[in-house]
């Protein structure tokens, strides 16, 4: 029992400070007005309130995103293919209306520390006082939003494969050198 408690405490301590805002994925159609409003709220408000937030937008009208969108609908247990679908961490929402803004904030804050929540509250207050000034001072936050592309996912896979190949190469080289060294040392001992 003590070992389990000790292990739990050690694991718990190792994750302190690693909590962050839940990332958002927005599945949208360019012709959908509700999608436009949802994306506007996220890009014009949430990314400024939550400095660690990352947003991925997925255009469901692109043929390359259809499979991903269907997987998300299944995961979220949505029967219709209506958009927007907003995924925040493991929470899913389908559709958008202004009354959902506080719910989306709650989802984003689920894994945040008290300090991160305090920063978000300060940012929200500053946005309420002078949104244009705050946005201008934090213009770099616009880079928190990225468009999903199959090419980007493929590039990541290529990088992982390349890294794996390098590891295998060096591992194999070490084994071969060690084997050769062993053979040479044994050969010297036989003489």
Number of domains making up the chain: 2
Helix, strand, coil percentages (3-state) for the chain, rounded to 5, are: 65, 10, 25
Per the domain annotation, does 8 fall within a domain? no
Q: Name the token pair of 85.
A: 């679908």
**pLDDT one-digit tens code per residue, 93-114:** 999 999 999 999 999 999 999 9
Output the average pLDDT for the chain: 84
Tell me the C-alpha to C-alpha distance, in Å, between residue 12 and each of 3, 7, 23, 105, 111.
14, 8, 22, 25, 14
Name 98's Cβ contacts closer than 8 Å, sequence gap at least 6.
Answer: 37, 41
Residue with more model confidence, 3 or 108: 108
Mean pLDDT (whole number) for 130-140: 95
Per the domain annotation, does 144 fall within a domain? yes
Per-residue pLDDT, 8: 36
Compute the C-alpha angle 157/85/22, nearest 5°.
65
Per-residue pLDDT, 173: 73
Task: List the domain range (segments joined by +) for residue 176.
Answer: 156-191
Cβ atoms of residues 130 and 40 within 8 Å: no
Q: Is the pLDDT of residue 128 over 50?
A: yes
Per-residue pLDDT, 191: 60
Considering the domain architecture, whether residues 174 and 95 belong to the same structural domain is answered as no
Q: What CATH number corresponds to the domain at position 69?
A: 3.40.30.10
Per-residue pLDDT, 139: 94
Per-residue pLDDT, 183: 76
Cβ atoms of residues 72 and 27 within 8 Å: yes
Considering the domain architecture, whether residues 171 and 130 belong to the same structural domain is answered as no
82 φ, ψ to 5°?
Answer: -65, 150
Residue 157 pLDDT class (50, 70, 90 cuts): low
Considering the domain architecture, whether residues 182 and 112 belong to the same structural domain is answered as no
* Of the candidates 61, 63, 81, the residue with the CA atom closest to the CA atom of residue 72: 81
Considering the domain architecture, whether residues 63 and 104 belong to the same structural domain is answered as yes
* Of the candidates 44, 16, 34, 25, the residue with the CA atom closest to the CA atom of residue 108: 25
Considering the domain architecture, whether residues 61 and 130 belong to the same structural domain is answered as yes
Considering the domain architecture, whether residues 94 and 172 belong to the same structural domain is answered as no
Per the domain annotation, does 61 fall within a domain? yes
Of 90-99, 113-122, 143-152, the range with the lowest mean pLDDT is 143-152
**pLDDT one-digit tens code per residue, 20-47:** 678 999 999 999 999 999 999 999 999 9
**Residue 92, beta-bridge partner list:** 87
Considering the domain architecture, whether residues 117 and 170 belong to the same structural domain is answered as no
Considering the domain architecture, whether residues 54 and 92 belong to the same structural domain is answered as yes
């Amino acid at each position: 029992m003590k070992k389990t408690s000790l292990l739990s405490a050690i694991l718990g301590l190792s994750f302190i400070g690693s909590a962050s805002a839940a990332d958002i994925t927005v599945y949208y159609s360019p012709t959908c007005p509700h999608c436009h409003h949802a994306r506007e709220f996220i890009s014009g408000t949430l990314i400024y309130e939550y400095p660690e937030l990352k947003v991925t937008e997925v255009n469901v009208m692109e043929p390359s995103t259809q499979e991903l969108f269907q997987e998300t609908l299944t995961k979220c247990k949505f029967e219709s293919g209506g958009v927007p679908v907003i995924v925040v961490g493991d929470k899913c929402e389908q559709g958008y209306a202004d009354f959902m803004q506080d719910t989306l904030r709650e989802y984003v804050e689920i894994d945040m520390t008290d300090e991160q929540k305090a920063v978000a509250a300060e940012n929200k207050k500053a946005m309420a006082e002078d949104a244009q000034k705050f946005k201008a001072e934090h213009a770099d936050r616009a880079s928190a939003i990225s468009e999903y592309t199959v090419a980007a996912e493929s590039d990541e896979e290529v990088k992982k494969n390349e890294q794996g190949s390098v590891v295998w190469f060096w591992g194999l080289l070490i084994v071969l050198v060690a084997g050769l060294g062993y053979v040479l040392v044994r050969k010297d001992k036989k003489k």
